[in-house]
Every structure is written in structure tokens, then in C-alpha cells.
Amino acid sequence: MSVESTRTVMTKYFQSEHGDVSMMADDVVFTIMATGQAHRGRNGVMGMLNYFYHIAFDATAETQNVIFAEQQAMVEGDFVGKHIGEFAGIPATQKQVRVPIAVTYDLENDRIKRGRVYFEMPALLQQLGNLQDENKAFVRQYLNAISGKPKPPSLVDQYVADSDQAMKHHIAFFEAAFPCYELIADEMIAEGDKVVIRGMGRATHKGEFMGIPPTGKTVSFPGILIYRIANGKIVEHSMQFDAVSLMQQLGGMPGGS
């Protein structure tokens, strides 16, 4: 197989922008060298390319250098695009990335037989950032903004997406009964796109709550909050708090003071 034959096959593949694997052998194998993961067969390779360029990222390859030899080729460039889907356990961040990439190809009988992909994974993960730390920082910012302060809709809208109207209702409901209530995080854990808080609510009862007129009592109650974060806002939540303790402190149930 001559250099010109190699050039012809590889040029056809490059011009397809990873959308045509007809020039690959039936038993082609592409290996991601950073992880050792092998993708076998045309369908396996096509699935890998589709995942990187269209599912996890909306990306293209910007070629810097190409070398052709007899039955071998090498391309060097940058993987450039936006992070639009889950990758390495990191939900979509919508961040732009640019990562060096190099691929070597072995050809047999005018077909691509093997590909070895050298991808700067540490650089990519650094550009995506530590999503969990970013989400925890966002939740801390949210708590600092609302805890112990008035919570007008204009402020809440900065942190809570329209998709979570239930959370906006809960905030308004509690704020009416316990103006400027506090949320104190004792522990915060992040996993994926979720942040879990174990903490304490603290407030003074100044408005009607569950049929109980204002008592002027200061109450505190433990609870757990789970926030799902996307695009810089809370898009979904769940909440559990000790309602029995709260009602007892307000005198609405036996056992309170």
C-alpha cells in the first residue's frame, strides 16, 4: 500500500468529519490510550465518535499536522467544542473546551485497521472544572443571599429556575409565616448535579402557619434539602424537615413549650 493510497483513504475519512466509517476494516479497533478502552468494529468506532463529537460534546477536530506513510498515518490537532452531555460522570456544563489530540492509524488493504487516540484527558477535566465544588459554592452563595434576610421573588428568581415552582411556593409560604427565616448548613455533600444539605432552620413565628396564629416564638428544626443544579440555577429540589418538632414548639401539638 503506497503513501498515495494511504493519503486517499485518510483524506476521505477526514473530509467526512467522523461521519463515515466505510473506509474502515470490519474488525477495526480504536483504542483510547488514556484509559485503554477499545472500541471494536465499525459500529463500535462509530458509536465512540458519535459520543465524543455529538452526545457528550458538540465538537469538531481542528487539524494542525498530518503525516502519511505506507500503511500508516498520524494526525495532530485540537478537539474543540461545547460540553453538552454527561462525560466521565460530569453532567453537561455548557463549557467550551479545547484539548490537544493526536491519532495514529494503521491501514491494511486500503482500509483503516487500527486507531490509537491520544487525548489530553487531564486538560479536558480541568477545563470542565470540578462540577461538585462549583455546585456547592453556588448553594453556599444562595444560602448567604437568603438566610436571615427578606426573600422577594426577584431575589429568589436569581437562584431558582422556573422549572421548580414548588420551591418558589415553599419559600414564599415559609417567608410569610417566618419572615427572614434562616437556613444553616451543617453538612453539604455534592454528587453529580445534586447537592445535599443536612442542616437547621431557625426563625421567629410572625405569621399564620398551618392554622396557628403568630406566637412570636423563635423555633429551630432540623432538615435535609436536596437541590439539583443546572445552568447556574436550582431546577429541582426535595425537602424533609422535622415538622413534628416545629409544631410542638409552636404549641400546635402536645410536647411543646
Q: Which 3-state string (H, E, C) describes the chain?
A: CCHHHHHHHHHHHHHCCCCCCCCEEEEEEEEECCCCEEEEHHHHHHHHHHHHHHHCEEEEEEEEEEEEECCEEEEEEEEEEEECCCECCECCCCCEEEEEEEEEEEEECCEEEEEEEEECHHHHHHHHCCHHHHHHHHHHHHHHHHCCCCCCHHHHCCCECCCCHHHHHHHHHHHHHCCCCEEEEEEEEEECCEEEEEEEEEEECCCCECCECCCCCEEEEEEEEEEEEECCEEEEEEEEECHHHHHHHHCCCCCCC
- The number of CA neighbours under 13 Å toward the Cβ of 6 is 19
Domain ranges of the chain: 3-128, 131-250
pLDDT one digit per residue (tens) for the chain, 257 residues: 699 999 999 999 999 988 889 999 999 999 999 888 999 999 999 999 999 999 999 999 999 999 999 999 999 999 999 999 988 878 888 999 999 999 999 999 999 999 999 988 878 888 887 778 888 999 999 999 999 999 999 999 999 999 999 999 999 999 999 999 999 999 999 987 899 999 999 999 999 999 999 999 999 999 999 999 988 899 999 999 999 999 999 988 765 55
Same fold flag, 3-128 and 131-250: yes
Out of 3.40.1000.10, 2.102.10.10, 3.10.450.50, 3.40.50.1000, which CATH number does the structure's domain 131-250 have? Answer: 3.10.450.50
Class of domain 3-128: alpha beta
Q: Tell me what pLDDT residue 93 has.
A: 86
**Considering only CA atoms, which of 224, 223, 211, 222 is closest in space to residue 250?**
211
Q: Tell me what pLDDT residue 256 has.
A: 53
- State if pTM tops 0.85: no
